[in-house]
Amino acid sequence: MTKIAIFASGNGSNFEAVIRYFINSSIEFICVSDKKDAFVLKRAEKLNIKYFYVPFEQTYDFLLKNKFDLIVLAGYMRILPKKVLQLGKFINIHPSLLPEFKGKNAIERAFKSKVKNTGVTIHYVTEEVDSGEVIASKKIKLTPQMTLKELETKIHEIEHSLLPKTIEKLIRKYNILLIGSGAREHAFADKLLKSEYLNKLYLFGANDGFKDSGINLEAQNFEQLAQIARQNKIDFVLIGSETQLAQGIVDIFQKYAIPCIGSDKYWTQLESSKSFAKEFMKRNNIPCADYVIVQTEKDIKKIPFTYPYVIKADGLAAGKGVCIANNESEAKNIIKEYLNGKFKESSKKIVVEEFLAGEELSLISLWDGNTLKPFIPARDYKKLNPSINSPNTGGMGAVCPVETDKKLILDYTKILEKALRKEKAKFTGFIYSGLIITSEGIKVLEFNMRSGDPETQVLMLSLENDLVLLLKNTVEKNLKNTKLSFKKEKSICVVLASNGYPNTPETGNEITMPFSNDVNIYYAGVKKQKNKLYTAKGRVMSICNCGTDSINKVYDYVNKVEYKGKTFRSDIA
Ligand code: GRF
């Protein structure tokens, strides 16, 4: 059961408002006051709520003995020391728009200063007076006709509705459905499970390596899955991979009013059609390489670029649809192969681009329909091995953070945010910008409409924010007030693949690996049979770590994993 303590020193009207709001809930409230004769204690008695007189000096011992999910300061006229603040999650309500008018008599001081706006703020508590991250605030206009009394009444009215609603949001726990089968989804699951805001984690399509992380749902199609999600009171859905997005899964969940982290079918075209993405960039002056569309072998003659140039399948190709042609015969061969259906329908149309030289970055951002929040830049290793002619894969490893000029990233984010706003992209989800820093500045190589795999594996280990809260803020279109923070240390991921990957991976080989606390293991292509683990796909698992010695820890462990045909890159990070 959720337990909440409300600390107050005086009147306690906020205390009463909270109690009345939650009257039929199962939350257990108690009232604490540092003043023996505070009126709030009388209110508690009348409302039949347990109450305690706890002198200020005894607060630490009291909280050591009594654990609460949340401690609310509502007119508690004391500064709590760090030692006490470490014992729980504390919030405070203050009658001004912080950081204006911290401290006592805030309403009166705001009134006398004749400010245009004042209001109410609810914030986390630190050792400094009325500081700490703001959780909620509400503004009121101060008109010249308004008297102090009227202002006070207005402020209290706002407090009595804002405080209970904010508490409700803070203690609410969420049911989340995570869709997808790979190491990226395993990393998401791992991070979601760390959240105190998670009620139940539901999975759809999880591989045998992380099935145990949640409740597995079965469905024949997305329509049925959405109905099951409804029955299970899923609050929102996180879709990991582009395949389902391009099939329109989000449009179906939207019909059932279930919010999704993922783009609808229309906006997924930024990934599923390279030509759609190019036109979007052109319309919005987003810097990118020049391009032409090729649909027949004859079109080769019209390609205006000098060699090398880049050939891309227009549609989805699991990260493998990009080739570089160094001369005419290579170009002809690649284009022929593509047009003949190397990637089925996906390569029947081809985008040919000028070659850009520079440092590549993966910039993954969250978009809430109005605000775009970038994560720290990451890098993935696309080639099977470092040699020039090595084939592209879904990704053989990743690292973050990648040292980059922060201003470049901010400027780019502003351009993309403006474009998405202008084009009224209403979905909520991840946008991955594959960027290159050329001598002419930053340019976009491609968009993906999901967080990358293996970039997600490193980013989830670096991310300090609570993922449930972050995604909840995204679906609630509240990213504007969300601050992202990341660990400073290097986060790395080495992908272990099967022999023959990416073309014809060998599968069914038994895997043996020791237990380790030093690394995070995210499974991709594995099958479990009678408690033994076998390879089942091209990419088998991601070995990851974030910390001061991450590279050594990861490679030490990589060497301990054994299966026939183990394939990996030794040069990650
Ligand atoms: C409120 O104005 C609150 O913002 C401030 O103290 C006052 C408490 O009022 N921190 P009450 O005791 O809840 O009536």
Q: Is the CB of 75 under 6 A from ligand 1?
A: yes
Nearest Cα to 302, choosing from 278, 335, 272? Answer: 335
Residue 40 CA to ligand 1 centre (angstroms): 11
List all residues 6 or more positions away from 297 whose beta carbon is below 8 Å from its beta carbon.
332, 335, 336, 339
Distances (CA, A) of 286 to 88, 234, 280, 292, 372: 46, 37, 8, 17, 15
Question: Which residue intervals of 320-405 are DSSP H helices?
Answer: 328-339
Task: Kindly give the distance from the C-alpha atom of residue 65 to the centroid of ligand 1, in angstroms, as a whole number.
Answer: 27
- The predicted pLDDT at position 411 comes to 96
Could you say which DSSP state residue 104 is in?
T
Q: What is the mean pLDDT of residues 470-478?
A: 93
Mean pLDDT of 289-302: 88
Please name which of 188, 192, 118 lies closest in space to residue 151, comparing C-alpha atoms. 118
**Which atom of ligand 1 is least distant from the CA of 76?**
10
Residue 282 has pLDDT above 80, yes or no: yes
What ligand 1 atom has the least distance to the C-alpha of 95? 4
CB of 11 closer than 6 angstroms to any ligand 1 atom: yes
Q: What percent of the chain has pLDDT over 70?
A: 100
Residue 422: pLDDT above 90? yes
Query: 39-51 pLDDT, tens per residue?
Result: 999 999 999 999 9
What's residue 388's pLDDT? 77
> What does the alpha-carbon distance between residue 122 and residue 17 come to, in Å, rounded to a whole number?
15
The Cα–Cα gap between 367 and 406 comes to 19
Which tokens in the block code for residue 245? 């997005």
Using most ligand atoms within 8 A of CB, pick from 105, 130, 140, 159 the residue to mutate for ligand 1.
Answer: 159
Ligand 1 centroid distance, CA of 12 (Å): 7
Instruction: Please tell me the residue having the least CA distance from ligand 1 atom 8.
Output: 75
Cα separation, 187 vs 191, in Å, equals 6
Q: Which residue has the tokens 């205390």?
A: 15
Torsion sign (Cα): 11, 17, 19, 23 = positive
Q: How far is the CA of 150 from the centre of ligand 1 (A)?
A: 16
Task: Say what the pLDDT of residue 540 is.
Answer: 97
Model pLDDT for residues 96-142, shown as the tens digit of each residue: 999 999 999 999 999 999 999 999 999 999 999 999 999 999 999 99
Pocket flag, ligand 1, residue 6 (CB < 6 Å): no
The whole-angstrom separation of Cα 377 and Cα 396 is: 17
In this prediction, residue 298 carries a pLDDT of 86
Q: What is the pLDDT of residues 190-244, one digit of tens each?
A: 999 999 889 999 999 999 999 999 999 999 999 999 999 999 999 999 999 888 9
Query: Atom 1 in ligand 1: which residue has the minimum CA distance?
Result: 75
Cα 293 from Cα 353, distance rounded (Å): 9
Quote the ligand 1 centre to 142 CA distance (angstroms).
19
pLDDT band at 300 (very low <50, low <70, confident <90, very high): confident
pLDDT-derived band of residue 172, with 50, 70 and 90 as boundaries?
confident
Question: Ligand 1 centroid to 75 CA: how many Å?
Answer: 4
Using alpha carbons, list the distances in angstroms from residue 139 to 65, 113, 246. Answer: 38, 16, 42
On the question of pLDDT at 255 being above 90, the answer is yes
Tell me which DSSP letter residue 463 carries.
B
**Ligand 1 within 6 A of CB of 43:** no
What's the pLDDT score for residue 93? 98
pLDDT, one tens digit per residue, over 159-171 is: 999 999 999 988 8
User: Binning pLDDT at 50, 70 and 90, where does residue 278 land?
Assistant: very high
Return the ligand 1 atom nearest residue 9 CA.
12
Per-residue DSSP letter, 141: E
* Per-residue pLDDT band at 156 (split at 50, 70, 90): very high
Chain center to CA of 100? 31
List, for residues 50-99, the tens digit of each pLDDT value. Answer: 999 999 999 999 999 999 999 999 999 999 999 999 999 999 999 999 99
Of 178-182, 344-348, 537-541, the range with the lowest mean pLDDT is: 344-348
- HSE (CB half, 13 Å, CA atoms) of 322? 18
CA pair distance 93, 122, nearest whole angstrom: 5
Ligand 1, atom 14: closest residue by C-alpha: 13
Q: Contact, 346 vs 431, CB < 8 A?
A: no
pLDDT reading at 448 higher than 80? yes
- What residues does 93 pair with on adjacent strands? 122
Residue 122 CA to ligand 1 center (angstroms) comes to: 11
Among the ranges 339-343, 403-407, 543-547, which has the highest mean pLDDT value?
Answer: 543-547
Please tell me the distance between residue 14's alpha carbon and the centre of ligand 1 in angstroms. Answer: 6
Model pLDDT, residue 318:
74
Place 390 in a pLDDT band, splitting at 50, 70 and 90.
confident
CB 455 within 8 A of CB 572: no
Here the tokens at position 164 are: 């209970």
Angle at 155 between CA 151 and CA 157, to 5 degrees: 115
> What is the distance in A from the centroid of ligand 1 to the CA of 143?
22
Q: What's the pLDDT band for 402 if we cut at 50, 70, 90?
A: very high
- What average pLDDT does the chain have? 95
* Top mutation candidate among 31, 93, 118 for ligand 1, by most atoms within 8 Å of CB: 93
| Residue closest to 264 by CA, chosen among 396, 426, 85, 137 | 426
CA of 98 from ligand 1 middle (Å) equals 15
Task: Compute the distance between CA of residue 125 and CA of residue 128 in angstroms, rounded to an integer.
Answer: 8
72 bridge partner residues: 6, 91
